[in-house]
Amino acid sequence: MIVISNTSPITNLAAIGQLELLQQLYGKILIPRAVCDEMYLGQPGAREIQSFSWIEIKQTTNQSLVDVLSSELDKAESEAIALGVELKAGLLLLDERRGREVAFRLKLKFIGLLGLLLEAKHKKLISAIKPVLNDLIIKAGFWVSNSLYTYILQTAGES
């Protein structure tokens, strides 16, 4: 299955030392050039995307689709979604609401960081979501509403 990531899942997981969860869950991850460019601006994970062989930078070829998507989204999200369309990706890793809305309209399957954590727990890659979620909030500055926080922990059986 082809899995393409936007910036947020990589930077947030890298910020808390959990980037390898992506490899454990999906094997190889593709990122478009714009995600790579965003990360070179000093984001967590910038070094890892250059050194981890399981993260591959893939150039988007459908520039007209990127241009259309860029009217609604930032360049990295636009390229990630365009790459998903081009490669018929099995999964996009997206956190931002507008990007997810566009992916939904284009009938692309996607998952956010919190869904990824639920999947990691289900596959026993992590024993508990709560400490990882707390790290994301405290160390990475990942915003989660109180109701979503409670829902994720309940879904994970950790309430």
pLDDT of residue 44: 78
- 66 and 24: one domain? yes
User: Are 73 and 94 in contact, with CB atoms under 8 Å apart?
Assistant: no
- Do 75 and 134 fall into the same domain? no
| Structure confidence by residue, pLDDT tens digits, 72-85 | 999 999 999 999 99
134 in the same domain as 57: no
Do 121 and 102 lie in one domain? The reply is: no
Give yes or no: residues 137 and 120 share one domain: yes
Split into its structural domains, the chain has a count of 2
156 pLDDT exceeds 70? yes
Rounded (10°) CA dihedral 74, 135, 39, 123: -90
140 and 80 within one domain: no
46: pLDDT strictly greater than 80: no
Same domain, 87 and 146: no
Say which CATH number the domain at 45 has.
3.40.50.1010
State the Cα torsion 39-143-110-52 to the nearest 10°: 30
| Residue 159 in this model has a pLDDT that exceeds 80 | no
Single pTM value for the model: 0.91
What residue ranges in 23-100 does DSSP mark as E strands?
A: 29-32, 55-58, 91-93
pLDDT class for 43, splitting at 50, 70, 90? confident
Structure tokens belonging to residue 116: 């990824």
Average pLDDT for the chain: 93
Same domain for 73 and 10?
yes
Range of the domain at 145: 114-155
Residues 25 and 103 placed together within one structural domain of the fold: yes
Same-domain status, 14 and 74: yes
